[in-house]
């Protein structure tokens, strides 16, 4: 069975990840639209990804308390 590396095994997980991404983008001041966001600069995409990682680390650290 072949799977694309960009597809979610659980569709609900994809929806949750998209919401998380939208929230992180909003926090760093980047406007995302539904679907293709190929017009983002590398800086914008990196700031969204960085914010997502920061929030995941904070969540993990809080769960350890």
Report pTM: 0.77
Q: How confident is the model at residue 65 (pLDDT cuts 50, 70, 90)?
A: confident
Q: How confident is the model at residue 6 (pLDDT cuts 50, 70, 90)?
A: low
Report how many domains make up the chain: 1
Q: How confident is the model at residue 10 (pLDDT cuts 50, 70, 90)?
A: confident
Report if residue 49 sits inside a domain: yes
Report if residue 24 sits inside a domain: no
Report if residue 46 sits inside a domain: yes
Residues 49, 11: Cα–Cα separation, whole Å: 21
Orientation of helix 42-64 relative to helix 11-27, angle to 10° = 110
Structure tokens at 44: 């914008």
Range of the domain at 56: 41-65
- pLDDT of amino acid 12: 87
Residues 32, 36: Cα–Cα separation, whole Å: 9
């Amino acid at each position: 069975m072949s799977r694309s590396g960009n597809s979610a095994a659980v569709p609900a997980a994809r929806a949750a990840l998209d919401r998380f991404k939208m929230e992180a983008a909003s926090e760093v001041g980047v406007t995302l639209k539904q679907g293709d966001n190929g017009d983002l600069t590398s800086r914008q995409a990196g700031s969204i990804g960085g914010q997502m990682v920061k929030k995941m680390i904070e969540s993990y650290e809080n769960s350890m308390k």
